[in-house]
Structure 1
Amino acid sequence: MDGTLVDTEPYWMQAETELVHAHGGAWTHDDALVLVGSGLWESARVFQEHGVDMPADDIVATLTARVQEQLDADGVPWRPGAKELLRELRDHGIPTALVTMSVRSMAQQIVSHIPFPAFDVLVTGDEVERPKPFPDPYLDAAKLLGVDPHACVAIEDSMNGLASAVAAGTVAIGVPHMIPLPDSDEHTLWPTLAGRGLADLIELIEERAA
């Protein structure tokens, strides 16, 4: 979701900076980039190491609430081509899952701004046993959709997300945003989702199968 479907990473970075500074610590743009794609509770430990004297659950709740405030105030900034691709998939009856390490309340807030029924399933960071980069989130999504994970395409913008998608056995696509992604035989890189459609996904699946 964050960084792939919607451009909420700047909101997260703002919330992180405010939190760490409020506790007398220092937080840089490079510090924030390290956490892109990480689970919230794993990130909470990093904030504690930077001087945030709060329980992990409270850190997650504080950051999430601040990002949601920004979403309410400034709206949902869509990533190029993401909503259009999602709409085409839905028009063709393709089952879809939103697999995010954000909490369910935020995922539901984002989904509520999509002007069509976008997802059959939400898998969120507060509901998985192990977050990305473990395969669990994508395995859970495939199970809930009732499909083989090897028949799924996963679109990600972070290394943790790609690692999770690859480990689950999906056809993984990396679309870099805040951080560069390396070339690899395990995944495919697209510079953007703009102009991409169902035909591109089918072609990729056939290439991978071959």
Structure 2
Amino acid sequence: MTITEQPFLGWSPEAVVFDCDGTLMDTEQHWQDARVRALRDFGLRPAPGFAERAKGVHYLACGRMMAEEADKPELAPELTRSLLSHFLDRVADDPVTMPGAAEFVRRLSGRLPLAVASNCPLEVVEQCLEQAGLLAHFRHIVVPDVPDAYGATPQSGAPADAVRPKPWPDVYVTAALLCGARCERTLAVEDSLTGIESARRAGLRVVGVGPRPADGGGPVDLWVPTLRAPQLLEVHWVPPA
């Protein structure tokens, strides 16, 4: 679906599902810092363009990517552990929400079911949202239960009913169902191409937020610079009875 002047005219969501990193929480820089520090622990440096390739990628897949791009695949487990440890340290030091995110969530809270669909471990998402004072506003938090199946196919051994990471659609499908909403009547709020692909494959409508990628940001209904954008007022935030 392409962006129109009034993309949500006459449309009301039954639920809203948010990504966490880069959408609710200003943690993408924390992840980037953690990647650099993890590589530095092993005397390595990120390859050109790595930050953009890693954005939105599950941290286990990111650890493998770092090891493979350094031509040291045997270091994947250690790099992954180092990555998560550095990230948690950065979050504890600096739990910052994205511009307008806290106000937007509080405005919707109580009107609609709200959920989070993230590629991060559950404890990371809960810690971030709790420190930001937002955790209580979300009915459900959905994360992959087979995070190592990032590149899995049915033939590669991932269980058929597993919740796989983005860009698979599973976290968004699961979040909508837990909220009691139809996927086609659920709105996703995302900042990464990986997350947008996941939400679209799940059948959700999508608001992209943040700096818009050079390629346009994929098939979103609306792209806004922050969650303070006036275009979001077009959406009817109370679902029909």
- Return the TM-score normalized by structure 2: 0.74
Preserved contact between residue 38 and residue 86 of structure 2 (Cα < 8 Å): no
Counterpart residue identity of residue 51, structure 2: A
- Of 64, 67, 76, the residue aligned with 2:84 is 64
- Point out where structure 1 has 5 or more consecutive residues left out of the alignment: 206-210
**C-alpha displacement of 1:114:** 3.6
CA separation in 1, counterparts of 2:114 and 2:92? 25
- Point out where structure 2 has 5 or more consecutive residues left out of the alignment: 1-19, 148-162
Runs of 4+ in 1 over 6 A off after TM superposition: none
Map 1:195-210; keep pairs closer than 5 Å: 195-196=229-230, 199-202=233-236
| Greater radius of gyration (CA) | 2
The alignment's C-alpha RMSD in Å is 2.5
CA separation in 2, counterparts of 1:68 and 1:123? 19
Counterpart residue identity of residue 124, structure 1: V
- Of 22, 28, 33, the residue aligned with 2:52 is 33
Residue deviations 1:6-56, cap 9 Å, x none? 111111111111111222322157212211011222222211212364344
CA separation in 1, counterparts of 2:190 and 2:176? 16
CA separation in 2, counterparts of 1:40 and 1:26? 17
**C-alpha displacement of 1:154:** 0.3
Q: Does residue 163 of structure 2 align to residue 150 of structure 1?
A: no
**C-alpha displacement of 1:181:** 5.6
Greater relative contact order, per chain length (Cα 8 Å cut-off, separation 6+): 2
Structure 1 counterpart of 2:194: 160
| Secondary structure, aligned partner of 1:174 | strand
Preserved contact between residue 96 and residue 132 of structure 2 (Cα < 8 Å): no
Counterpart residue identity of residue 193, structure 2: M
Map 1:124-143; keep pairs closer than 5 Å: 124-126=143-145, 129-143=163-177
Count of matched residue positions in the alignment of Structure 1 and Structure 2: 201
- Of 75, 79, 100, the residue aligned with 1:54 is 75
Q: Does residue 208 of structure 2 align to residue 174 of structure 1?
A: yes
